[in-house]
Amino acid sequence: MEDHVYIIDHLPEGRADLPHHRREPVAYGVGENQFTLLELIPKVGVNLLSGDRVYIGKDLALRDRVEKVKGRVNYEDLSSSAHGELPYVLHDMVKQMEERFVKFYNEAPAISTRFHALELLPGLGKKTMTALIDERRKKLFEGFADISARVPSVHHPEKLVANRIELELTDPKQKYHIFARPPLTEDARGHGRGGHGHGPGPRMRR
């Protein structure tokens, strides 16, 4: 369930690539819980800025900025501005949810005898993976700064996580989804855009 999204674009006049009679104010956001990409209808007169954290949960009384959640979308459905903003917003989200992602560094498991979940982080090789595992066995990491201090080859642990989330959202061929929900399938699109809050959460999947 997504109760909050971070805005990645707001088009008060609607999408320019649609006919005039189909245009309506629209915004795009990425969910805080499962990084679900969502299309939103803002309330009249509301201006949403990139990076704004907005409530979209079931309590309509608290929905002061979004009128309606139209549903899930895939990366290719987003506006070009949303594409550009997504990496920056994801990075800020990961920094704000530091405890959650430090837990990943502390608890990420082996996927097979030859491959570890830590290696799914872009640019993180086996040598660094081994160093992370050795250090967390001695003592669990307490924060991003602690990771960088104890494993110097990991300069910005939050960037590695943000880059992985972006990869899961932008590359439909990814075998594993450890942070973000898998993209909508063509079958799901055929039945209309799915609801934003239900279905399986992020998991290791192939």
Q: What is the pLDDT of residues 38-81, one digit of tens each?
A: 999 999 999 999 999 999 999 989 999 999 999 999 999 999 99
Question: What whole-number distance in Å separates Cα of residue 167 and Cα of residue 121?
Answer: 10
Question: Which residues, 6 or more positions from 199, have their beta carbon under 8 angstroms from its beta carbon?
Answer: 181
Considering only CA atoms, which of 85, 81, 87, 89 is closest in space to residue 13? 81
Considering only CA atoms, which of 8, 4, 30 is closest in space to residue 179? 30
Report the sign of the C-alpha dihedral through residues 169, 166, 154, 50, in that order. negative
Mean pLDDT of 182-196: 62
DSSP 3-state assignment of 57? coil
Domains of the chain: 4-78 (2.40.50.140), 97-170 (1.10.150.280)
pLDDT tens for 112-140 read 989 999 999 999 999 999 999 999 999 99
pLDDT for position 192: 46
Answer for the pair 203, 197: CB distance below 8 angstroms, yes or no: no
Q: Could you tell me how far CA 151 lies from the centroid of its own chain?
A: 25
Residues in the chain: 206
Considering only CA atoms, which of 206, 197, 199 is closest in space to residue 178? 206
pLDDT for position 202: 43
Residue 30's beta-bridge partner residues? 6, 37
Mean pLDDT of 153-179: 95
DSSP 3-state assignment of 197? coil
pLDDT for position 76: 95
